[in-house]
Amino acid sequence: MPIAASRLPAPCRPEPAVVQRLLASLQGRLDWPAVITAAAPWVQAVRDKPAPFWAMESLLREYPISSAEGLALMRLAEALLRVPDAETAIALTADQLGRADFSSGGSDSSQHKMLSSLSASAIGLAKRLLPDDAGSKPGLLERLGAQTVVGATVRAIQLLGRQFVLGRHIGEALGEARTQRKDQPRLRFSFDMLGEGARTAHDAQRYLAAYQNAITAIAESTQGQGPAERDGISIKLSALHPRYEDAQLERVLDELVPRVCGLIDAAARADINLTIDAEESDRLELSLVVFDRLAAHVQDTAPAWTGFGLAIQAYQTRAYEMIDAVAEIARRRSLRLMVRLVKGAYWDGEIKRAQELGLNGYPVFTHKHHTDISYLACAQRLLEHHAQILPQFATHNAGTIAAIVQMARHHGARFEMQRLHGMGEGVYREVMAASPESRRAAPRDSSPSGGDAAGVSGPHELSLRIYAPVGEHRDLLAYLVRRLLENGANSSFVHQLADAQVPVTELLHSPLQPADAAGQPAPAALYGSGRANSSGADLAVPEQRAPLQAAVQATQVRTVPLADEAAVRHAMTMLDSGFDAWSARPVAERAAIIRRAGDLLDARLAAYCGLLVREAGKTLGDCIAEVREAVDFCRYYAEQAESRLAPIALPGPTGESNELRLHGRGVFVCISPWNFPLAIFAGQVVAALVAGNTVAAKPAEQTPAVAQAFVELLHEAGLPTDALRLLHGPGEAVGAALVAHPATAGVCFTGSTQVAKIIQRTLAASEGAIVPLIAETGGLNAMVVDSSALPEQVIDAVVQSAFRSAGQRCSALRLLCVHESIADGVIAMLRGAMQELRVGDAAEIATDVGPVIDAEAHGNLSRHVARLEREATLIGRAALDTRFAATHIAPVAFELKQVEDLREEVFGPVLHVVRWGGDVDTLVKRINALRYGLTLGIQTRIDSRATRIAAQARIGNVYVNRNMIGAVVGVQPFGGEGLSGTGPKAGGPHYLYRFCAEQTLTINTAAAGGNAALLAGLD
């Protein structure tokens, strides 16, 4: 990793310590009472002049996002404008407005004014929504015409959107900027081309062209202005490359950096600003590496240009060090750079990611006022670096603004304030008015030879830049929702400013105190006190990645001896005789052993990942998830055993005690597959053991070493040797012998439906006891996508669900059903996204798709693909290096004519796509008719539709608006119905019961002559 990134500390350091250090850096630097004195009049003035009824603040006051109405508004804003077909638009609107009561939201007349003005244009807009051939669908026009509310809603969303977008294209935005400058001549803009991040090379080229075009237009329109007065552009690196990820560093440096260099050249030639937006925290180190490369380019090509910069998010716990790293780059490369300090826009997403990945903390602060502390400390640091960096402070918070002005005055540094278009207008009106010098139009040069070098600077330099999004309505949606969330959050300054109930003193309360307790439970404490979440690793962090990569290099797969018939007989005898002692152990003792095994495994994440990569050909990301699942199984079943397997006292007549007891059944045979050689193996085995059974475990033939390592770990944790035996060998020999053995008291099997049936028949034919079978088998898993879904989100979910683990998951997506009205676009995006997948060596961090398990699987998949090539329409295929042709199958997608054309489970990276139209209920019936019932994905913004589909589907695991793989123990208990298995679900609260026999113990407590307790008044 290049030097710059290594300057950053670990992302998840303990929050209190980080906050203390930041507070220490501010010691004696801020006079907060003076901040209040400066900011209180601004706040009061804004409150005295309330925003117009259509403004965001008013709207969110009427409909806060914590209310059903506010939520409905936000969800409609996110989806309605992109829906192409009228029927879905009506369903979506009815769904969201149906649960909200807009008529009783506010009391004043402004609301009625708003709604009536919206309704006026409703019918016209509603008609526009209709497809051209609407006449061919009798009744539709009438229905929609009648539902003026749909039109009104569309209009409302458009109005909302317009508040945040300066223009639909750069020309319009520049025109609007000119208009605004008539009143405020020194106003500057940084234009942002809206859109989702690129998923395909084509998307990236489109964004690149938009940026190039915008730079040209801005350059033309700002000719004649001094450099400091020029408008600029903000760019998102994720828009310029579909794989702007740490794992793809090489591609990012080879492909993305030259693209940005091209933009830099154009911006530098025109001497306008170019700022790189800040994105998710897992891209922080990458962004620094890229920024350093770009700075090197600036050094070589335009060393005098002062308009290059990046945004830094104060909510990141590493923001302070990031500023130092940028200052170091500026010094090293003799450049003067810009840094835009923001608080950060993706807080909710960062918290969720850290919890999902089981990280050892959060990369962002968990208290709003810790972010404020960080912002102030970072501001202070930026001002200290003002010789290298032009500080640009982006905030709408009056307290923060006043504090910045105070600190900047102290430093005598030149700086710039920034706000988002559509936000903070009122506050900045007051801030600028309160700074009389700001009206003195005296443009200054921000170059080193200008303002600072001349020693001229100070608060009278106060200047304001507006971040101005540009784009069509469709491109605006994600941005709009971010802003709605930001403005609607209770903790947000803008939200509280609009709420007259919040006293000014509270609004401007000093943030300079650490919080008493953590704002969010640590990711490890996600499941409360009962059990710890398993620890993960963030592959985007070099320090966390390195031990895993080292383990892969160091791992050698051991040979596991094959078991013959005699070994099976011997093992069964031993397990049979070991049963009494093991099942007699108190459940707490058994649980403690299993829990200890989980803890050992948790601590040896790297070693087990190494083994999984080497033996099963899994990628590192998949390996981490698998080890974590196994740890979770241990902890979850231990907890479940203690809470669920304890005797239950039952009611009954006096003189009698009744108790229900659960105990192990005997020897359980556990047969597991190669696709999750650790997690499924461990899950079956520890469930059976903790319930009091002894276990004969037969791992898949392809992956015995992983299983052997887990067995050793269980013994290390204290499991007696006669409670568990590993028997490695072919299913037809070893598996069959175990199932047919007379000592077998239960079978737990995960694998194909065919083998499950064979086991079922063997058990049925046995002369001995009736032996229970828990079978978890395959699926023809579908995803239903309607036209309200967000294509980018669909593609992310599809690519992960269909191709992760080379499609070798029982939960994997096999059949994508896309609504016909959006199918062309989704299919094109799918094709592009597949071309971005990297197929290769599982040990390499950049690999998305590793090998299929063995030559037999390769042969079967190749034949299936060859058949589809003849019978279906090829959509797209990932590139495959010839080196991997014999071991890997390139992810591939085909379009089928109908659902029924998919007849069998194809266990690999092969996706089948169908288009659907008409009634979604019919589609669900056809999916049900496939008779598998494992997983189902639903992508829709119509909540009632998602609920209805889920209720109709005879499917075990249903996922809405996300991928459909990676079920988490105790969170998404896993298992299907029909041809997909018997249940109960693994990792669910009913699982252990199936491993137990039940006994009711009834004791006549009055047997010895009479009911002494009753007579003594004790009963």
Ligand X SMILES: Cc1cc2nc3c(=O)[nH]c(=O)nc-3n(C[C@H](O)[C@H](O)[C@H](O)COP(=O)(O)OP(=O)(O)OC[C@H]3O[C@@H](n4cnc5c(N)ncnc54)[C@H](O)[C@@H]3O)c2cc1C
Q: Is position 191 an interface residue for ligand X (rule: CB under 6 A)?
A: no
Tokens of 282: 């897992």
What residues from 969 to 988 belong to the interface with ligand X (CB under 6 A)?
none
Sign of CA dihedral 106, 107, 110, 114: positive
Neighbours of 356 (CB within 10 A): 16
CA dihedral (466, 472, 474, 475) in degrees, to 10, reads: -50
State which residue, 347 or 681, has the beta carbon closest to ligand X: 347
What is the rounded CA–CA span in Å between residue 419 and residue 166?
Answer: 13
Among 57, 642, 776, 905, the active-site one is 776
Antiparallel, parallel or unpaired: β 873-877 and 667-671: unpaired
Task: From 34-42, 248-256, 341-349, 996-1004, give the range in contact with ligand X by CB under 6 A.
Answer: 341-349
Residue 55, Cβ density class (10 Å: 0-12 exposed, 13-18 middle, ≥19 buried): middle
CA dihedral (125, 131, 132, 138) in degrees, to 10, reads: -100
Q: Is position 608 an interface residue for ligand X (rule: CB under 6 A)?
A: no
Q: Is position 467 an interface residue for ligand X (rule: CB under 6 A)?
A: yes
Neighbours of 533 (CB within 10 A): 27
Q: Is position 422 an interface residue for ligand X (rule: CB under 6 A)?
A: no
Closest distance to ligand X from the beta carbon of 416 (Å): 10
Binding characters for ligand X, 823-852, by CB under 6 A (x = yes):
------------------------------
Task: From 319-327, 361-369, 547-555, 979-987, give the range in contact with ligand X by CB under 6 A.
Answer: 361-369
Q: Which residue is nearest to ligand X (CB)?
A: 343
H or E stretch covering 913: strand 910-916
List, as one string, the DSSP characters of 703-766.
Answer: -HHHHHHHHHHHHHTT--GGGEEE--S-IIIIIHHHHH-TTEEEEEEES-HHHHHHHHHHHHH-
Instruction: Out of 164, 308, 320, 347, point to the residue binding ligand X (CB under 6 A).
Output: 347
What residues from 268 to 297 belong to the interface with ligand X (CB under 6 A)?
277-278
Tell me if residue 62 is catalytic.
no
> Do 327 and 389 contact (CB within 8 A), yes or no?
yes
What residues from 110 to 149 belong to the interface with ligand X (CB under 6 A)?
none
Q: Is position 311 an interface residue for ligand X (rule: CB under 6 A)?
A: yes
| 840 DSSP 8-state letter | -
Instruction: Out of 16, 262, 519, 720, point to the residue binding ligand X (CB under 6 A).
Output: 519
State which residue, 405 or 724, has the beta carbon closest to ligand X: 405
Report how many residues bind ligand X under the rule CB under 6 A. 32
Task: From 342-350, 867-875, 935-943, 1011-1019, give the range in contact with ligand X by CB under 6 A.
Answer: 342-350
State which residue, 370 or 385, has the beta carbon closest to ligand X: 370
Q: Is position 491 an interface residue for ligand X (rule: CB under 6 A)?
A: yes
> Do 740 and 766 contact (CB within 8 A), yes or no?
yes
Full 3-state SS string of 393-430:
EECCCHHHHHHHHHHHHHHCCCCEEEEECCCCHHHHHH
Task: From 56-64, 208-216, 360-368, 730-738, give the range in contact with ligand X by CB under 6 A.
Answer: 360-368
Q: Is position 428 an interface residue for ligand X (rule: CB under 6 A)?
A: no
List phi, psi (to 5°) of 493: -60, -45
Residue 45, Cβ density class (10 Å: 0-12 exposed, 13-18 middle, ≥19 buried): middle
Antiparallel, parallel or unpaired: β 977-978 and 932-933: antiparallel
Instruction: Out of 102, 346, 749, 916, point to the residue binding ligand X (CB under 6 A).
Output: 346
State which residue, 397 or 980, has the beta carbon closest to ligand X: 397
What is the rounded CA–CA span in Å between residue 238 and residue 278?
Answer: 10
Tell me if residue 810 is catalytic.
yes
What residues from 612 to 641 belong to the interface with ligand X (CB under 6 A)?
none
Instruction: Out of 420, 695, 815, 872, point to the residue binding ligand X (CB under 6 A).
Output: 420
Closest distance to ligand X from the beta carbon of 319 (Å): 11
Q: Is position 188 an interface residue for ligand X (rule: CB under 6 A)?
A: no
Closest distance to ligand X from the beta carbon of 199 (Å): 20
Q: Is position 344 an interface residue for ligand X (rule: CB under 6 A)?
A: yes
Task: From 63-71, 78-86, 176-184, 414-422, give the range in contact with ligand X by CB under 6 A.
Answer: 414-422
Q: Is position 244 an interface residue for ligand X (rule: CB under 6 A)?
A: no
What is the rounded CA–CA span in Å between residue 664 and residue 995?
Answer: 7
Neighbours of 771 (CB within 10 A): 20
> Do 378 and 320 contact (CB within 8 A), yes or no?
yes
Q: Where are the beta strands (DSSP E) in 285-343?
A: 308-313, 337-342
> Do 339 and 312 contact (CB within 8 A), yes or no?
yes
What residues from 380 to 409 belong to the interface with ligand X (CB under 6 A)?
394-397, 400
Distance of CA 183 to the CA centre of its chain: 43
Among 609, 748, 810, 996, the active-site one is 810
Closest distance to ligand X from the beta carbon of 192 (Å): 8
Closest distance to ligand X from the beta carbon of 836 (Å): 24
Instruction: Please report where in the chains the tokens 């008779």 appear, as a residue.
Output: 931
Q: Is position 365 an interface residue for ligand X (rule: CB under 6 A)?
A: yes
Task: From 152-160, 296-304, 362-370, 590-598, give the range in contact with ligand X by CB under 6 A.
Answer: 362-370
Task: From 242-250, 308-316, 884-892, 985-993, give the range in contact with ligand X by CB under 6 A.
Answer: 308-316
- Known catalytic residues are 776, 810
Q: Return residues touching ligand X (CB under 6 A).
A: 277-278, 311, 313, 315, 340, 342-347, 365-368, 370-371, 394-397, 400, 418-420, 467, 486, 491-493, 519
